[in-house]
Amino acid sequence: MALIVQKFGGTSVGSIERIEAVADRIAKHHASGDQLIVVVSAMSGETNRLIGLASEISDEPCPRELDMLVSTGEQVSMALLAMSLQKRGVDAISLKGSQVAIKTDSFHSKARIKDIDSTRLHAELSAGKVVIVAGFQGVDDQGETTTLGRGGSDTSAVALAAAVNAAECQIYTDVDGVYTTDPRVVDGAKRLDSITFEEMLEMASMGSKVLHLRSVEFAGKYGIPVRVLSSFKDGPGTLISVDEDNLMEAPTIAGIAFNRDEAKLTMVGVPDTPGIAYQILGPIGEANIEVDVILQNVGDEGKTDFTFTVSRNDLSRAEAILETHISELGAMEWRSDSKIAKVSVVGVGMRSHAGVAATMFRALSEVGVNMQMISTSEIKISVIIEEKFLELAVRALHSAFGLDADEAGDTDA
């Protein structure tokens, strides 16, 4: 008998028919003898509907009241699923985040989990019940309802798995695993049987929608194996863990990740003096704008150009900051470009394999894609390119590293 935490996303519980199908799956699993904690999201589209209602009342709704409102979406899902299981003769109980005692800080709409009291969870499991928990929500020290932000149900599930020392956290969604790249871009993308936490972190940070970034960070921190599975068809899914035992036989590259949500800013002709990077990026950081790739050109006659990328959503704020500081920085001008994208090759295997960068750069040059900026880490090489070449670049790299399904002999992807 194993203790398993399962999470079902919005599309998985998007209708009464889907909830009934999830109940069938859970009932069958429970009959095998495993103990189950099930975390649910709001029904597909429900959170957006609730936020829309709030916006009709106020352009800037009170964060506390907004959390009170949107947290009801998960409560609907958990109660309906518990009812469906009870109808099947399965003893089930639904619990809000506050009833489980998922303790968070007090930052409404983006709270972070501080602690989970697993006492009640273990008591309900010992009584033979399937415990259904509302994802995405918790309670602060003052007893106020908080929410964890978009994708917070994934984080709820992994945190609960860590709190009860679960054997595995299973994330059921509308895809059957983690792929070498987006199948909508590359027809030959294949499902990975396994991937390390490090690789998944890089894929998630690049905009992969399979798992929420914070949930991967949590899983890696506490060493909780996470398996991504489909709610709509059976299959082994993709296991995300720390296991690197088969690294020597594994592909050098796990996948090709990409992100369209990029914008580039350049300060032209700033003084090539110590501290100029801080003078530019300090005000950007103080505005809570995250900087990604950074490039400083070689100085010429005491001047240099300084380029960095930010999220496209932060572009207008970053532009305003540069405009405000351009004179004191001694720059000639600033420029911005929102028509860029980032493409990355990701793989723990590149630690022990040479030539990854050369293969990447050759593949891009062969299809006429120019690299504007380059960033590297131990398991990732990223390049900034024109957005219009994004899909061409992804397909070229996927093929260059032998990741296409037909080349790998994988016909199931």
* pLDDT tens-place string over residues 24-46: 999 999 999 999 999 999 999 99
* pLDDT tens-place string over residues 115-139: 999 999 999 999 999 999 999 999 9
Instruction: Tell me the pLDDT of the chain averaged across its residues.
Output: 91
Task: Point out the least confidently predicted range of 105-109, 239-243, 280-284.
Answer: 239-243
What per-residue confidence (pLDDT) applies to 113? 93
Counting residues of the chain whose pLDDT is more than 90, the rounded percentage is 75
pLDDT at 96 over 90: yes
Counting residues of the chain whose pLDDT is more than 70, the rounded percentage is 95
What per-residue confidence (pLDDT) applies to 408? 47
What per-residue confidence (pLDDT) applies to 251? 59
CA gap 384, 190 in Å, rounded: 25
| Cα Rg, the chain, nearest whole Å | 24
* pLDDT tens-place string over residues 299-339: 778 899 999 999 999 999 999 999 999 888 888 899 999 99
Domain with CATH 3.30.2130.10 in the chain: 256-403
pLDDT at 354 over 80: no
SS3 134: strand
Average pLDDT over residues 197-207: 82
Average pLDDT over residues 142-162: 92
Predicted TM-score (pTM) of this structure: 0.81
pLDDT at 1 over 70: yes
What per-residue confidence (pLDDT) applies to 405? 76
pLDDT at 257 over 70: yes
Average pLDDT over residues 71-91: 97
Place 413 in a pLDDT band, splitting at 50, 70 and 90.
very low
CA gap 254, 347 in Å, rounded: 5
Which neighbouring-strand residues pair with 147?
137
* pLDDT tens-place string over residues 259-290: 999 999 999 999 999 999 999 999 999 998 99
Token couple for 300: 């010429």
CATH number of 256-403, picked from 3.40.50.2300, 2.40.50.140, 3.40.50.10470, 3.30.2130.10: 3.30.2130.10
SS3 178: coil
Q: What are the C-alpha distances in Å from 326 to residues 13, 331, 390? A: 51, 6, 32
Place 21 in a pLDDT band, splitting at 50, 70 and 90.
very high
Please, what is the angle between helix 315-329 and helix 276-286, to 10°?
Answer: 140
Please say whether the beta carbons of 122 and 179 come within 8 A.
no
Place 407 in a pLDDT band, splitting at 50, 70 and 90.
low
* pLDDT tens-place string over residues 216-228: 888 998 999 999 9
Average pLDDT over residues 94-109: 94
What per-residue confidence (pLDDT) applies to 201? 87
pLDDT at 206 over 80: no
What per-residue confidence (pLDDT) applies to 327? 87
Please say whether the beta carbons of 272 and 228 come within 8 A.
no
CATH code: domain 3-243 is 3.40.1160.10
Sign of dihedral through CA atoms 396, 254, 234, 222?
negative
pLDDT at 348 over 90: no
Place 248 in a pLDDT band, splitting at 50, 70 and 90.
very low
Produce one character per residue of 157-179: b if its CB has 16 or more CB atoms within 10 Å, e if not: bbbbbbbbebbbbbbbbebbbbb
Domain with CATH 3.40.1160.10 in the chain: 3-243
Q: How many CB atoms lie within 10 A of CB 240?
A: 31
Average pLDDT over residues 233-252: 72
What per-residue confidence (pLDDT) applies to 409? 44
